[in-house]
């Protein structure tokens, strides 16, 4: 493995390990302790990903992914070489764009539903309106993408969260 121009977590050197048509870029850390997910290490991880993207397609690995030995990493790479190679071909020439849409602040209604039925019907109508907005937005963006990932129930304050893989 050859050293690269960026450093990894906790300032550790980065090396590339090849397996057939693919390679993994990693840093090696002694002991059982993983580097902490602090701002410095998260940014170091991002700098490595960005540096690798300058040379071609990249499949970023989740921050903190670790293997107990280099042999285990090599085994995983060898076992998944074809799938990883296909995934790299799939993202080649593309960028990922994320879209997050926040829910509007709740309106303070002066009217109070007279019955439980009226309350539930109003709640249903509001949810259906949000679903239409979500669907219309995704339906407009999806045809522009090579691939999409949509989170159906992203969170209490988030109407919509999706990622779109688009050609550069």
The predicted pLDDT at position 87 comes to 93
The pLDDT-based confidence of 1 (bands split at 50, 70, 90) is: very low
For 79-115, write each residue's pLDDT tens digit: 999 999 999 999 999 999 999 888 877 777 677 878 9
Angle at 62 between CA 154 and CA 31, to 5 degrees: 135
Residue 39 has pLDDT above 50, yes or no: yes
- pTM of the entire predicted model: 0.71
Q: Among residues 99, 30, 106, 130, which one has the least CA distance to residue 70? A: 30
What is the arithmetic mean of pLDDT over 104-129?
A: 84
The pLDDT-based confidence of 147 (bands split at 50, 70, 90) is: very high
What is each CA distance from 110 to 107, 113, 122, in whole angstroms? 9, 10, 14
């Amino acid at each position: 493995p050859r050293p690269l121009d960026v450093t990894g977590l906790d300032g550790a050197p980065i090396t590339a390990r090849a397996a057939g048509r693919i390679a993994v870029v990693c840093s090696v850390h002694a002991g059982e302790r993983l580097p902490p997910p602090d701002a410095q290490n998260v940014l170091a991880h991002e700098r490595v990903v960005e540096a690798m993207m300058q040379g071609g397609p990249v499949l970023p690995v989740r921050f903190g992914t670790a293997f107990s030995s280099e042999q285990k990493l090599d085994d995983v790479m060898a076992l998944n070489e074809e799938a990883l190679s296909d995934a790299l071909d799939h993202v080649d020439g593309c960028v990922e764009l994320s879209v997050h849409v926040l829910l509007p602040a709740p309106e303070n209604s002066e009217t109070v539903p007279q019955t439980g039925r009226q309350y539930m019907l109003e709640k249903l109508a509001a949810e259906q309106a949000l679903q239409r907005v979500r669907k219309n937005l995704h339906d407009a963006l999806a045809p522009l993408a090579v691939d999409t990932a949509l989170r159906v129930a992203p969170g209490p304050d988030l109407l919509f969260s999706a990622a779109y893989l688009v050609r550069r």
